[in-house]
Each structure stands twice: as C-alpha cells, then as structure tokens.
C-alpha cells in the first residue's frame, strides 16, 4: 500500500501499532493479538480502531463469542510504502494538533486504555495524579503554554534515557467551563 496521506503515515508510525499490524498479517481478533503481545484486548482494540479508521486494517468478518460479536481483522496490505513527499513532514502537525480538542480527546482515550491495562493487584505500583486550576490572563496564554511545554521538555530530557522503568507522562490543559455555583 502506497501511503500519500500524512494522517495515515502518522497513525502507522507508532511502534505499538506496527507490532499490532504485524500480528494482523493473517486474520485475527483483538484477543488473539493481545495474547500474543502480552497486552489487554482493550489496549489492542484501541490500536486496531486507529488502524481501521486510517484504512490500514480491514475487518474481514465477525464471529459470536458468548453472545457478543467479535471482529476479525487483517492488515490491508503486506507492506506499506511512504510517499517521499511525507518525509520530513511527519510529526509537524503534532505540534499544531497538540493545541486542538481532538488531540486532547485522543490523549485521554489513550490514558484510559493504559490505566485499564495496569496490574491493580500490585499495590506498590508507582503512579501519581495531579489536578489543579490555573488562571491565566488572555495576554499571557501564549507564554503560559510555552512555559508549560518547556517545563515538560526539561523532564523528558532529564529522564528520557533508555534505562530504568518506563513511565507514561500525559498532561491535559484545557479551558475550564464556568462554575454553576
């Protein structure tokens, strides 16, 4: 499959999606793929939905499992070729999209899938949740966003090595609606 759309390339070029795509060279269910990859079916389903929406995976059939329809999926092609015009453009949209509501919704869906996959039987599982409200005058919004991005980039640079336990850091910053009280 020759990919000319930036959106398709950005969906494809995620390591976890590439591995799911490899597993779907032959038809399979999300449960089958999850078992082979040691992941939860929910996490695999999230990746498969992204691949289906991008036209990189097809739902080839459905089967009933304990009264529930289970999709059987297969990669749309044996290989994927990126158009040369995409080289150097992949990832540029991400910076723009990081300020969009759609990106925030996708991020929250990804965080929800990740948290659902955690082993809750391990009480020592290190995690942290922080929530707060910051008020920023309109003329300082751009500087606030730049400061926030800079602070996070400093953390990613300081702790971004390949050694040690991997932690996912996701932060959401969005306008708070008006209080009803």
Question: What is the rounded CA–CA span in Å between residue 175 and residue 23?
Answer: 40
Question: What is the rounded CA–CA span in Å between residue 76 and residue 15?
Answer: 18
- Whether pTM > 0.75 for this model: the answer is no
Residuewise pLDDT in 10s, the chain (181 residues): 888 888 888 888 887 888 999 999 999 999 999 999 988 888 899 999 999 999 999 999 998 888 888 899 999 998 888 777 776 666 555 555 555 666 777 778 778 877 777 777 776 777 788 888 889 998 998 888 888 888 888 887 787 766 777 778 887 777 777 665 4
Question: What is the rounded CA–CA span in Å between residue 77 and residue 13?
Answer: 15
DSSP string, 49-108: HHHHHTTSEEEEEEEEETTEEEEEEEES-S--EE-GGGTTTTTHHHHHHTTSHHHHHHHH
């Amino acid at each position: 499959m020759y990919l000319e759309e930036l959106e398709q390339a950005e969906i494809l070029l995620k390591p976890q999606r590439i591995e799911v795509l490899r597993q779907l060279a032959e038809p399979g269910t999300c449960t089958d793929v999850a078992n082979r990859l040691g992941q939860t079916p929910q996490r695999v389903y999230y990746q498969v939905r992204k691949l289906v929406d991008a036209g990189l995976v097809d739902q080839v059939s459905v089967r009933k499992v304990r009264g529930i329809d289970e999709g059987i999926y297969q990669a749309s092609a044996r290989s994927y070729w990126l158009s040369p015009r995409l080289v150097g453009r992949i990832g540029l949209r991400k910076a723009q999209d990081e300020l969009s509501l759609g990106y925030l919704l996708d991020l929250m869906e990804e965080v929800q899938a990740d948290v659902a996959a955690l082993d809750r039987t391990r009480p020592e599982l290190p995690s942290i949740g922080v929530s707060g409200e910051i008020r920023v005058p309109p003329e300082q919004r751009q500087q606030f966003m730049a400061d926030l991005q800079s602070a996070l980039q400093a953390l990613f640079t300081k702790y971004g090595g390949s050694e040690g336990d991997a932690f996912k850091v996701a932060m959401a910053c969005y306008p708070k609606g008006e209080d009803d009280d």
